[in-house]
Amino acid sequence: MPQTSIGDMTRQQLNRAAQTADLDPDFLAIIAHPKRVLRVSVPIEMDDGTVQVFTGYRCHYNALRGPVKGGVRFHPDVTEDEVIALAAWMTWKCSLIDLPYGGAKGGIACDPDALSERELRHLTRRYTTEIMPILGPDIDIPAPDVYTNARNMAWIMDTYSMLTGHTEPGVVTGKPEILGGSLGRKEATGRGAAIIARELVQALKLDMKDVTVAIQGFGNVGSYAACTLAGMGARVVAVSDKTGAITDENGFPVEDLCAHVEESGTIDGFPGARLPGEELFSLDVDLLVPAALECQIHKNNAPHVRAKMIVEGANGPITPEADHILEEKGTIVVPDILANAGGVIVSYFEWVQARQGMAWPLEDIRARMEGRLKTTFWEVWDEAATCKTCLRMAAYILALKRIEQTYMFRGLFP
Ligand code: GLU
């Protein structure tokens, strides 16, 4: 169980960064609160004919820099507090990467594994209808997150389009390609995390060929991170998912592992030594990529972490207490708002393509994403050196300063 609530976690991170960045107190007061949070009831008819009412949320954390952007997650643990925290992280992330967006997040408390395709379709469509007043290509643009994917985005797009009377591909990103989804969007978050890991390895003057990797979570982010890292020469020696962990000190044949997961849904049954999932964090590897949920590395397991580098594929996988322990130990952590920003970067490209009515080639998308990530990595690296702080605080300082400048020009309405 996490020791810190996720809301406390974002507040602690913000306050620490605000002190180092010397933020204007009025701006800090504004940015410490979400702009709006909508809670909706989502009633649907289940396959057995009964009606069940789910609770959904959509938070617009801050819209100073443009329409708000962020995923929608379907998970039993979704709460208002979590959605607000995730929307705050989206705000910092979009600013850090210099996208013309504010931050949002949404979710429905549900167990998607227990729902049929038809029930999921109704849930997605009714949720979209309920959040319709705050949705739109110039207002709020959802995307996939934990346990949602291109299929859900297609339903959101269709529902929005039916209710407005015209097809609107710009209202969501991460759509199927046939509906205007960008090439390279699905791979983007995991691929981006691998690119960031490579820059870190270079900054530390190491060689990718000598780097061993453990990845927690083998969903969209973890699997693409594994494939890209293996392609860069690193050895992926441990992976985990909800069924536990497997290790292979020689490095997994990652393509085969991905094919196995694609077919069976889990890593279970793939050749390798089995371990309880939580032991993954204490393995003697060079690089850890937590790519599952929040608060996975906390004050109880942080002392056992042996990796020198952590690249946060998930949002908020390390609690502030654990961050402190890792900092003392000299573990270098690349924060989520940089490490997993590949996804929202390509989401932005998808939105631009929708506005242009034009599809870009995959190589352009990959090159542009890589360029943005590399530039930002080195900005954060240099800022950390200048401010003598960790990469997370450096990233926060850059992100918050950019929002603060926007606020200074726009001013407070009215
Ligand atoms: N859910 C993803 C994230 O946390 C992507 C958001 C987006 O593409 O808008 O970054």
CATH no. for residue 94? 3.40.50.10860
Q: Under DSSP, is residue 326 helix (H, G, I), strand (E, B) or coil?
A: helix
Cα dist. 104→81, 273, 399 in Å? 13, 40, 15
CA of 318 to the centre of ligand 1 (A): 18
- Are both 168 and 238 inside the same structural domain? no
Name the domain boundary from 183, 202, 229. 183
In-domain check, residue 130:
yes
Residues 6+ apart with CB under 8 A from 34: 59, 60, 61, 62, 84, 87, 88
Cα separation, 1 vs 291, whole angstroms: 18
* Residue of 347, 351, 369 to mutate, ligand 1, most atoms within 8 A of C-beta: 347
Is there a single domain that holds both residue 94 and residue 145? yes
| 3-class SS of residue 247 | strand
Sign for the pseudo-dihedral over CA of 398, 400, 401, 402:
positive
Assigned domain for 332 exists: yes
Q: Are residues 66 and 172 in the same domain?
A: yes
CA distance 413 to 41: 31
Question: 343: Cβ below 6 Å to ligand 1?
Answer: yes
Task: Give the predicted TM-score (pTM) of the model.
Answer: 0.96
Q: Quick check: CB of 91 below 6 Å from ligand 1? A: no
Question: Does 257 fall in a domain?
Answer: yes
Same domain, 79 and 114: yes
- Spatial CA neighbour of 344 closest among 31, 57, 180, 101: 101
Q: 128: Cβ below 6 Å to ligand 1?
A: no
CB 62 within 8 A of CB 103: yes
Tell me: do 227 and 311 sit in the same domain. yes
Residue with tokens 């850890």: 288
| 313/293 same-domain check | yes
To test the pocket of ligand 1, the residue of 97, 145, 175 to mutate (highest count of ligand atoms within 8 Å of its CB) is 145
Statement to judge: residues 179 and 239 lie in one domain:
no
Ligand 1 pocket test, pick from 189, 337, 372 with the greatest ligand atom count within 8 Å of Cβ, gives 189
Do the domain assignments include residue 409?
no
Residue ending a domain, among 309, 339, 369, is 339
Same domain, 205 and 159: no
179: in domain: yes
pLDDT for res 5 = 86
Instruction: Look at the chain and report how many structural domains it folds into.
Output: 2
Note whether 157 and 191 are same-domain residues. no
Catalytic annotation, pick one of 35, 105, 175, 186: 105
Strand, helix or coil for residue 291: coil
Tell me the CA–centroid distance for residue 83 and ligand 1, in Å. 12
Residues forming the annotated binding site for substrate? Answer: 69, 93, 347
**How many A from CA of 344 to the centre of ligand 1?**
5
What is the residue range of 145's domain?
Answer: 34-183
Burial (CB count <10 Å: 0-12, 13-18, 19+), residue 363: exposed
CATH number at residue 248: 3.40.50.720
Q: Within a domain: residue 178?
A: yes
Single residue among 153, 183, 213 that ends a domain in this structure: 183
119 inside domain = yes
In order along its 414 residues, the chain shows pLDDT tens digits of 445 689 999 999 999 999 999 999 999 999 999 999 999 999 999 999 999 999 999 999 999 999 999 999 999 999 999 999 999 999 999 999 999 999 999 999 999 999 999 999 999 999 999 999 999 999 999 999 999 999 999 999 999 999 999 999 999 999 999 999 999 999 999 999 999 999 999 999 999 999 999 999 999 999 999 999 999 999 999 999 999 999 999 999 999 999 999 999 999 999 999 999 999 999 999 999 999 999 999 999 999 999 999 999 999 999 999 999 999 999 999 999 999 999 999 999 999 999 999 999 999 999 999 999 999 999 999 999 999 999 999 999 999 999 999 999 999 999
Tokens at residue 20, please? 């180092």
Q: Is 105 a catalytic residue?
A: yes
347 close to ligand 1 (CB < 6 Angstrom): yes
The conformation of residue 147, written as its DSSP 8-state character, comes to T
- Return d(Cα 344, Cα 232) in angstroms, integer: 23
CA–centroid distance, residue 63 to ligand 1 (Å): 16
Please tell me if the CB atom of residue 315 comes closer than 6 angstroms to any atom of ligand 1: yes
Contact 71 CB / ligand 1 (< 6 Å): yes
- Asked whether residue 303 falls in the same domain as residue 193, the answer is yes
Indicate whether 368 belongs to any domain.
no
Ligand 1 pocket, residue 70 CB under 6 Å? yes
Q: Extract the tokens encoding 197.
A: 């890991």
Q: Where are the beta strands (DSSP E) in 159-282?
A: 212-216, 235-241, 244-247, 273-275
> Are the CB atoms for 87 and 13 separated by under 8 Å?
no
- Could you tell me if 75 and 172 lie in one domain? yes
Q: Residues 397, 383: contact at Cβ < 8 Å?
A: yes
Task: Let me know whether 166 and 73 are in one domain.
Answer: yes
